[in-house]
Amino acid sequence: MPERVGLDELERLIAAGAQLVDVLPEGEYADEHLPGAINIPLKTLDARTTGGLDRRRPVVVYCWDSL
């Protein structure tokens, strides 16, 4: 079960080398995203598009908000 994290834990994970994945549509990612995040829109998440992620490192996903 994925862990739900807040800002403090997110910053700790980033400092520890976590990979950030923005799952918003491409245009929203292009406008603004968290530093270092890569874009894999939710509708495209599959084995091929996630192939560049390192499975040995934590992954943190985010979208716009909790709604």
Partner 1 sequence: MSPRAACRLETLGFPDVSDYVAGKADWLAHGLPREGEKAAEPRAIDLAVEDVVTCGLDDRVGEVRERVSASRYDFAFVVSANRVLLGRLGHPALEADPRLTAGAVMEPGPSTIRPDSTLEPLADRMRSSHMTTLPITDPEGLLLGVIRRKDLEAAVSGGPAPGVADCMLP
In the complex, the residues that contact partner 1 under the rule CB under 8 A are 1-7, 9-10, 13, 18, 21-24, 29-37, 42, 45-47, 50, 53, 55, 57-66
Structure tokens at 46: 């599959």
Q: Which lies closer to partner 1 via its Cβ, residue 7 or residue 15?
A: 7
**Whole-angstrom Cα distance, residue 46 to residue 51?**
8
Q: Which lies closer to partner 1 via its Cβ, residue 6 or residue 15?
A: 6
From the list 9, 7, 8, 25, the residue with the least C-alpha distance to 58 is: 9
Q: Which lies closer to partner 1 via its Cβ, residue 1 or residue 15?
A: 1
Shortest Å, Cβ 60 to partner 1 = 5
**Whole-angstrom Cα distance, residue 19 to residue 23?**
13
